[in-house]
Amino acid sequence: MLDLQRATSPPLVAPPQPEVARDKLIVALDFPSGREALAFVDRLDGACRWFKVGLELFLAAGGSIVQTLRARGHSVFLDLKFHDIPNTIAGAVRSVGPLGAELLTVHASGGPAMLEAAAEAAASFADPPRLLAVTVLTSMDQSQLAAIGNLRTPAEEVLLLARMAFANGIAGFVCGPEEASALRSALHGAVLVTPGIRPDGAEIGDQKRIATPAAALAAGANYLVVGRPITQAPDPAKAARAVLAEMKLAQRKNTATVV
């Protein structure tokens, strides 16, 4: 059986981690069509480099939306949250690999065999997508976990899943901002991606485990995923620039604290 206390070294070289605010902000393109998503990207006026394509957009627009964003010079996080038997997941990773997304999600709760199959399939590409294991969705709190029979706290469950995924070749994680610092100390070199980002005063919506951009960076997140606070803003470019400004300020403060 897997010893979760000792499972702390993935069979991977630690991946590079971004430094510049613009390289750390990923805008979630949760739109019902490729046309609307691309029109929104145009409204951002070059403010953002990274975009996340999730289930809604991928199912509506297909793989070509990833290729179009890549052709326009953007980096793509393909957030399809794969969860199935190992053979099916290996095939799914091989199917989307050629699209050129740089980040791709699988659910950690799919277990060691599924994660290993995903990692092996990704490694078959010359320029593989980096796999991220989704730990506990940021829309889930303790009562939602309890409802599916899991009596651990979200923090305990995130750590357990991340250690298990790390031991099975996955060095990147999607977690809530409040779990980032525990993962940062437990898993050396891990890449941490945090949704649930809400600038002060933004609507929370269905998210439960949230933090401001500055707090998520201070906790050790490498990439912040921001959807509605930017996509639903009256002036999305202005909202994106405000998030980037908060991130830059936080990075300066964090560096000052470390030095």
Report the alpha-carbon angle 191-23-73, nearest 5. Answer: 120
User: Sign of torsion, CA 32 145 134 216?
Assistant: positive
The tokens for 24 are 């750390």
* 48 vs 22: CA distance, rounded Å: 6
The tokens for 40 are 């929104």
Mask 103-142, x = binds ligand C5P (CB under 6 A)? -------------------------------x--xx----
Give the residue at shortest CB distance from ligand C5P.
227
Q: Give the number of residues in contact with ligand C5P, rule: CB under 6 A.
A: 17
Q: Which of 52, 81, 208, 253 is catalytic?
A: 81
Identified binder of ligand C5P from the candidate list 38, 226, 239, 240, rule CB under 6 A: 226
Nearest approach, Cβ of residue 54 and ligand C5P (Å): 4
- DSSP labels for 54-106? EHHHHHHH-THHHHHHHHTT-EEEEEEEE-S-HHHHHHHHHHHGGG--SEEEE
Nearest approach, Cβ of residue 223 and ligand C5P (Å): 11
Region near ligand C5P per CB under 6 A, out of 42-50, 148-156, 224-232, 247-255: 224-232
Nearest approach, Cβ of residue 49 and ligand C5P (Å): 17
Asked if 132 contacts 193 with a C-beta cutoff of 8 angstroms, the reply is: yes
β pairing state of 75-82 and 223-226: unpaired
87 or 250: whose CB is closer to ligand C5P? 250
Stretch 12-41 residues interacting with ligand C5P (CB under 6 A) = 28, 30
List Cβ neighbours of 90 (8 Å cut-off, separation of 6 or more).
Answer: 117, 118, 120, 121
Region near ligand C5P per CB under 6 A, out of 43-51, 88-96, 110-118, 219-227: 219-227
* 38 vs 60: CA distance, rounded Å: 13
Identified binder of ligand C5P from the candidate list 227, 236, 247, 250, rule CB under 6 A: 227
State which amino acid sits at residue 157.
E
238 as an active site residue: the answer is: no
52 or 163: whose CB is closer to ligand C5P? 52
Nearest approach, Cβ of residue 105 and ligand C5P (Å): 7
* 79 vs 58: CA distance, rounded Å: 9
Stretch 161-200 residues interacting with ligand C5P (CB under 6 A) = 174, 195-196
Neighbours of 5 (CB within 10 A): 7
Nearest approach, Cβ of residue 167 and ligand C5P (Å): 21
Residues that bind ligand C5P in the complex, under the rule CB under 6 A: 28, 30, 52, 54, 79, 134, 137-138, 174, 195-196, 205, 207, 225-228
What amino acid positions are annotated as catalytic residues?
A: 81
